[in-house]
């Protein structure tokens, strides 16, 4: 019997892992978040601010059974430099308490991403990217987190791992970064206006090589990396296991919404979508949806960044495959599954 | 396990040779190779010299092959144009099957060796990563013709078919048409002899494009796996090392193997610039006590010119074969020198 402590449990990754593990009899699940869950769950949720050490001590000292920590929170800031301290602080605060408390701690996993390779600078980088590639010039809080954890683990019984996913594709509410929910809202509103599904990003991105990882596969990979000896104390790229281009995916997304594929029309989504709360409410009423505000679902700031990258974005999976991981999803064949989930949950029409 | 008998038409080409060497090591196979030329490598396999384009010659010699269980069809008859290749390459396959089917009562499987030209990779930019079921290019080539022919022929039969579609093939053969590696290493060895750095001879665009190759050891293993294990028969499968790379990232590894500096890009027609290099090569052979092959024995520069002159991504998706259960991956950057080392060990290159 293992006990998973999932920090950032309402984010797109944390939430998927909660849902993946909560019905598994082998696992007890504890979720940490500042907010309380917006969905039904049998996991034990604790509301805690990881930036506040005394709050951590007060709320987490009783968690003596934790065997596996999955660290997925992200504290967004105005600049990459500003992100370093708070994101490192959250990890330090959590580990300070857990190391004292959880005598059966076996593993700590960091959720990093392809920003490890500098994709966030908006310019081409070496692709396919390998874990062993030289780092970019800091700042990058991933480097601080991993370096700190590697150092911390020396001489300890527990092990660490880190996953570097890219293009995370799954449902969440109130996240900083969510491509799926953003595109789902964008498409639904486009359809409501009777306009075709225009690609709102950089024209070069439409034809560049891209990759995503479905959260159902990512959750399995997280558990695999946290429990497999060959994966201990290593960082791994993870994606669906194939490559695609938005030009191959876009017609499938349009087809899901029964829309025509439109033009490539790069827009600033933050400004274009800023007046859409009313029309979204109208859509939700008309289709009897479970109403969330546009800004609870869509993350326009993230989208404006992610969809402006007009270059190939590719992570090499040789390392994780060599360590024994065999998970694989055909991106083009499975891209609409998460959209279908959202429709079944009455989040989108 | 009962012993199987493999028939390998095109036995001394790059893929035929690879599958023969693999099956020999495997030990559970009797192997019969077919070729017009006589065998040029060490092998315990039985070689039969036959011209598959000649119906009578084929009929006479294939009549004896009643023990065949698996055919790895690696033969290829090159012609002046892609269109011209269709008729002879269909004839060869037909002559083989006409002879074999009546006598080989235990025939289980026939595998066709195809490639990314299926997707029109030689025509210009195409949909990548390419998938097996993508719509065909408008220009038909002999891969399409052969697959259509075998699908038709197999209907109602107890044997099954498969086709494998590798792209850049990385391994050793002598004098076969489509060998990427031999040409590159000869170009490197001659550059070194002339005191030149290893300049990229292809187009600048292609240096930065995505590409995929397969090591012939891995290809042979995959061929055998598809023919004997894959859950789904009567199917075509892309196959590669399992990763993608750009030549700009691989070229330094090739330079390193030859102890050469990476040079600047200099796009040339190798057919043109290598035309006068036989004397230099024979000097290299003499200096390093290499096996006495000539450049024209070893390679065909027109193929390399074709392969390196494109300027677009060439990518095959291998999701389908992975979903069928194939799990092997070679890290291209880490394994690129293995086949080159084999060439050095067998005294083909310095």
Domain ranges of chain B: 4-168+214-238, 170-212+244-314+332-345
Contact B243 A317 (CB under 8 A): yes
Count up the domains in chain A and report the number: 2
- Do the chains contact at B210 and A330, CB–CB below 8 Å? no
Site of tokens 């590639």: A133
Question: What end-to-end distance do the CA atoms of chain A give, in Å?
Answer: 40
What is the token pair recorded at A325? 């991981």
Question: Is B129 in contact with A330 (Cβ distance < 8 A)?
Answer: no
Token pair in block for residue B120: 């029109």
Does the pTM of the predicted model rise above 0.90? yes
The per-residue pLDDT for A181 is: 97
Structure tokens at A116: 């490890």
Count contacts between A and B (CB, < 8 Å).
44
Q: Domain ends where: A197, A222, A238?
A: A238
Q: Are residues A280 and A260 in the same domain?
A: yes
Note whether A181 and A194 are same-domain residues.
yes
- Give the pair of three-digit tokens for residue A297: 């679902």
Whether residue A328 sits in one domain with residue A184: yes
- Give yes or no: residues A185 and A333 share one domain: yes
Asked if A207 has any chain B CB less than 8 Å from its own CB, the reply is no
Residues B123/B139, Cβ–Cβ less than 8 Å: yes
Task: Walk along chain B (350 residues) and give the pLDDT tens digit of each residue.
Answer: 578 999 999 999 999 999 999 999 999 999 999 999 888 788 889 999 999 999 999 999 999 999 999 999 999 999 999 999 999 999 999 999 999 999 999 999 999 999 999 999 999 999 999 999 999 999 999 999 999 999 999 999 999 999 999 999 999 888 777 788 999 999 999 999 999 999 999 999 999 999 999 999 999 999 999 999 977 889 999 999 999 999 999 999 999 999 999 999 999 999 999 999 999 999 999 999 999 999 999 998 999 999 999 899 999 999 999 999 999 999 999 999 999 999 999 999 99
Q: Give the CATH number for residue A189.
A: 3.40.50.720
Q: How close A312 gets to chain B, by Cα (Å)?
A: 10
User: Is A226 found in the same domain as A155?
Assistant: yes
Same domain? A115 vs A178: no
Segment A35-81, tens digit of pLDDT: 999 999 999 999 999 999 999 999 999 999 999 999 999 999 999 99
Chain Cα centroid distance, residue A267: 24
**Secondary structure of residue B93 in the 3-state scheme:** helix
Cross-chain residue pair A322–B249, CB shorter than 8 Å: no
Same domain, A303 and A187: yes
List, for residues B236-286, the tens digit of each pLDDT value. 999 999 999 999 999 999 999 999 999 999 999 999 999 999 999 999 999
**Per the omega criterion (within 30 degrees of 0), is the bond before A128 cis?**
yes
Contact A243 B244 (CB under 8 A): yes
Q: Which of A188, A223, A238 is the last residue in one of the domains? A: A238
CATH number of B4-168+214-238: 3.40.50.720
Q: Where are the alpha helices (DSSP H) in chain A?
A: 12-21, 53-60, 80-101, 141-153, 179-192, 203-207, 215-227, 246-256, 269-272, 277-286, 294-297, 300-306, 318-322, 331-334, 337-344
Judgement on whether residues A291 and A176 belong to the same structural domain of the protein: yes
Question: Which residues make Cβ contacts (< 8 Å) with residue B327, sequence separation at least 6?
Answer: A321, A326
Whether residue A217 sits in one domain with residue A87: yes
The answer to whether B157 faces chain A, any CB pair under 8 Å, is: no
Please, where are the H alpha helices in A74-196? 80-101, 141-153, 179-192
Ramachandran class of A55: left when φ > 0, alpha when ψ lies in -120 to 50, beta otherwise: alpha
Task: Inspect the interface and report whether the beta carbons of A318 and B242 lie closer than 8 Å.
Answer: yes
Smallest Cα distance from A128 to chain B, Å:
7
Residues 230-289 of B with CB under 8 A from A: 242-246, 249
Inform me whether the C-beta atom of residue B16 falls under 8 Å from chain A C-beta atoms.
no
Nearest chain A CA: its distance from B244 CA (Å): 7
DSSP string, A178-226: -HHHHHHHHHHHHHHTT--EEE-S-HHHHHSEE--EEHHHHHHHHHHHH
Stretch (H or E) spanning B62: helix B55-62
Q: Which residues of B touch A314 (CB under 8 A)?
A: 210, 244
Cβ proximity of B234 and B162 under 8 Å:
yes
Q: Are B303 and B177 a contacting pair, CB within 8 Å?
A: yes
Chain B residues inside the 8 Å CB shell of A210 = none
pLDDT digits (tens, 9 = 90+) for B105-140: 999 999 999 999 999 999 999 999 999 999 999 999
Please tell me if residue B313 touches chain A, with a CB cutoff of 8 Å: yes
What is the domain extent for residue A274?
A: 169-211+243-313+324-344
Q: Find all residues with CB under 8 Å of A329, minimum gap 6, and list them.
A: A214, A217, A240, A241, A242
Residue B98, burial from CB neighbour count under 10 angstroms (0-12, 13-18, 19+): middle
Domain co-membership, A185 together with A79: no
């Amino acid at each position: 019997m293992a006990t998973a402590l999932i920090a950032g449990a309402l984010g797109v990754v944390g939430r998927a892992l909660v849902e993946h593990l909560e019905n598994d009899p082998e696992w007890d699940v504890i979720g940490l978040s500042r907010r309380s869950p917006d969905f039904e769950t049998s996991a034990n949720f604790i509301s805690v601010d990881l930036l506040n050490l005394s709050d951590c001590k007060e709320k987490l000292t009783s968690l003596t059974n934790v065997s596996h920590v999955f660290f997925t929170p992200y504290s967004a800031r105005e600049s990459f430099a500003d992100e370093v301290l708070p994101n490192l602080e959250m990890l330090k605060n959590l580990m300070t308490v857990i190391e004292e408390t959880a005598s059966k701690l076996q593993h700590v996993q960091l959720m990093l991403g392809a920003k490890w390779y500098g994709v966030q600078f908006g310019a081409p980088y070496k692709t396919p990217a390998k874990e062993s590639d030289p780092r970019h010039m800091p700042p990058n809080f991933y480097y601080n987190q991993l370096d700190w954890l590697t150092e911390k683990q020396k001489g300890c019984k527990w092990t660490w791992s880190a996953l570097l996913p890219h293009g995370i594709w799954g449902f969440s509410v109130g996240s900083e970064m969510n491509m799926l929910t953003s595109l789902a809202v964008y498409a639904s509103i486009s359809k409501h206006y009777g306009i075709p599904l225009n690609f709102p990003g950089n024209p070069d991105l439409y034809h560049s090589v891209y990759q995503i990882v479905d959260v159902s596969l990512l959750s399995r990979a997280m558990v695999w990396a946290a429990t497999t000896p060959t994966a201990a104390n290593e960082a791994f790229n993870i994606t669906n296991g194939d490559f695609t281009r938005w030009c191959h995916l876009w017609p499938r997304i349009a087809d899901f919404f029964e829309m025509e594929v439109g033009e490539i029309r790069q827009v600033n989504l933050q400004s274009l979508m800023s007046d859409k709360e009313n029309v979204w409410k109208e859509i939700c009423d008309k289709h009897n949806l479970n109403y969330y505000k546009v800004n609870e679902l869509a993350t326009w700031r993230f989208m404006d960044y992610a969809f402006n990258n007009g270059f190939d974005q590719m992570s090499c999976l040789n390392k994780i495959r060599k360590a024994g991981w065999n998970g694989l999803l055909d991106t083009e064949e499975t891209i609409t599954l998460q959209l279908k989930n959202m429709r079944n949950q009455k989040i989108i029409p | 396990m009962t012993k199987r008998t493999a028939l390998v038409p095109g036995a001394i080409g790059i893929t035929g040779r690879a599958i023969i060497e693999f099956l020999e090591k495997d030990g559970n196979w009797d192997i019969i190779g077919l070729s017009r030329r006589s065998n040029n490598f060490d092998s315990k396999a039985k070689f039969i010299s036959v011209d598959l384009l000649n119906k009578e010659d084929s009929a006479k010699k294939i009549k004896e092959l009643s023990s065949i269980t698996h055919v790895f069809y690696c033969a290829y008859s090159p012609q002046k144009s892609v269109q011209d290749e269709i008729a002879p390459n269909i004839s060869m396959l037909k002559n083989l099957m006409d002879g074999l089917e009546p006598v080989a009562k235990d025939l289980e499987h026939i595998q066709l060796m195809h490639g990314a030209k299926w997707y029109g990779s030689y025509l210009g930019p195409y949909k990548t990563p390419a998938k097996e079921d993508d719509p065909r290019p408008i220009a038909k080539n002999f891969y399409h013709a052969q697959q259509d022919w075998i699908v038709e022929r197999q209907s109602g039969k107890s044997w099954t078919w498969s086709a494998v579609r590798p792209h850049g093939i990385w391994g050793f053969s002598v004098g076969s048409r489509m060998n990427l590696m031999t040409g590159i290493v000869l170009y490197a060895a001659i550059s070194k002899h002339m005191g030149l750095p290893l300049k990229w001879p292809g187009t600048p665009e292609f240096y930065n494009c995505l590409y995929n190759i397969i090591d012939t050891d891995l290809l042979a293993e995959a061929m055998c796996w598809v023919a004997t294990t894959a859950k789904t028969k009567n199917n075509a499968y892309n196959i590669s090392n399992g990763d993608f790379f750009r030549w700009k990232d691989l070229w330094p590894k090739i330079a390193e193997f030859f102890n050469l500096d990476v040079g600047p890009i200099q796009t040339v027609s190798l057919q043109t610039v290598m035309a006068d290099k036989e004397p230099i090569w024979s000097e290299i052979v003499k200096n390093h006590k290499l096996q006495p092959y000539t450049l024209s024995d070893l390679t065909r520069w027109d193929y390399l010119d074709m392969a390196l002159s494109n300027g677009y991504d060439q990518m095959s998706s291998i999701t389908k074969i992975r979903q069928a259960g194939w799990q092997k991956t070679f890290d291209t950057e880490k394994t690129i020198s293995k086949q080159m080392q084999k060439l050095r060990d067998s005294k083909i290159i310095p």
